Structure 1
Amino acid sequence: MTPRLYLVTPADLDIDSFADRLANALSGGDVACLLVTDEGRGEAASQKLVERLVPIAQAAGTAVLLQNDTRTAGRCRADGVHVDSGTEDLARALETFRPDGIVGVGDLRTRHDAMSVAELGVDYVFFGLLDQSEEPEAHAKTLKFAAWWAEVFETPCVALAGASMDSVEACAATGADFVALRGAVWNHPEGPAAAVNAANAILARHSLSVAEDG
């Protein structure tokens, strides 16, 4: 099974122009999910942004998740939330969005943390820290956690790649269900569509290679 792309919005996005950048990215190929991160822009600005992004993404078959914002997600008919702000917020998100919406969880620092939240019935676990500055390659701990998880557990996992497109292959090799990209897409010299196309090509080649080896 080919891993799918999971895009993370850039930290410095411009509300007025990002909708066009997203549409461009999604024109480049399959994207399973878009995570709209919380950058302290405020509730009104967040709602304005998400109201513009949701129809664009959903028309392309891409789910939209909001980071730690159940209120805006509900108002804007987003597909769910990504929680990395603690167990109380996770419990609230599960109560609000399950069973029809998506609830994923991040900021997992230990194996015990990951196993504990999986037992609550989350839809995915996310390995990699969104609040750290991006390096070219995926963090070694991210790869280690994702490989362990993919081998042992059924709950899907996301592995956060680095700022380099080359890091997609390393994340795919862990067996993760999704590979998350941020700067590698939004800062690609040929534009977001070319980046999504290139990332999907890497994922497809990886899956073909695994199938042939098997």
Structure 2
Amino acid sequence: MTDALNRCRLVLIAPPGLSPDDLERKLRQALEGGDVASLILPAYDLHETAFQDLAERLAPVAQAAGVAVVMAGDTRIAARVKADGVHVDEGKAALADAIDRLQDKMMVGAGGVKTRDDALELGETRPDYMFFGRFGYDNTPEPHPRNLNLAEWWAEMIEIPCIVLGGSEVESVEAAAETGAEFVALSAAVFADGLDPREQVARANSLLDQKAPRFED
């Protein structure tokens, strides 16, 4: 995951419930819409073989477009599919173990944060990013106020980059970017039924170009 642009960038989260064919098709469309920093692939309720099969299918698509692939689930699968990173939300011990084993090989991000104390405790392990939100919970138009508050506090106080989960409307990237977060994650706002993923990613980038604060060099 890079931050080459001097403003908040877009992260995509693969949604649950789509067939591999539909998800690959929508991902390809989304990646045609403009800048995407990374793709997070959660395991959701997939068993190990199905999750690995899905990752083996989607990771090359994203990586060919210059998009980092982060696996949320079994860290062994991340290594097998040559992912760029892993996302750990099982607590400090699991995060510290992943960092110890993997951080010289791939990025390791932290999630599962509910409070400032949670964030500070996880931050002691020095992950590559902190994620504010829960996969699959972007079911309101705007980001959850708690996530916005945490991201604003974190971005002001801590150097470790953060990702804040947006809402179900693509316009939610504005509120996310205003926190000072380096990245905003969208899932339903891009991949929900009836939406054109290409247009949604293009719209998100247009809004970020116009409205997102610029970072100092």
TM-score normalized with structure 1 length: 0.93
1:90 aligns with 2:95: yes
Aligned position for 2:81: 76
Partner of residue 38 from structure 1, selected from 31, 43, 46: 43
8 Å contact kept, 2:52–2:81: yes
- The AA in structure 2 aligned to 1:117 is L
CA separation of 1:133 and 1:152: change in aligned 2, threshold 3 A: closer
Partner of 2:13: 8
Structure 2 letter corresponding to 1:73: A
CA deviation string 1:51-70 (max 9, x = no partner): 01111111111111111210
Structure 2 residue aligned with 1:149: 154
Where does structure 1 differ by over 6 angstroms across 4 or more consecutive aligned residues?
none
> Which runs of 5 or more residues in structure 2 are unaligned?
1-5
* 1:1-214 correspondence to structure 2 within 5 Å: 1-132=6-137, 134-187=139-192, 189-207=194-212, 210=213
Report the count of equivalent residues. Answer: 209
Q: CA deviation at 1:109?
A: 1.1
Structure 1 unpaired stretches of 5+: none
Q: Distance in 1 between matches of 2:193 and 2:65?
A: 21
Q: TM-score, normalised by structure 2?
A: 0.91
Question: How many percent of aligned residue pairs carry the same amino acid?
Answer: 44
**Displacement after TM superposition at 1:89 (Å):** 2.1
Q: C-alpha offsets along residues 59-95 of structure 1, whole Å, 9 cap, x if unaligned? A: 1111111112101101000111111122232123112
CA deviation digits over 1:96-131, x for unaligned, max 9? 321231111111011111112122110000111225
Q: For the structure 1 residues 146 and 99, does the alpha-carbon distance in structure 2 shift closer, same or farther, using more than 3 Å as the test?
A: same
Deviation at 1:188, TM superposition (A): 6.7
RMSD: 1.5
User: Matches of 1:85 and 1:35 in 2, distance apart?
Assistant: 16
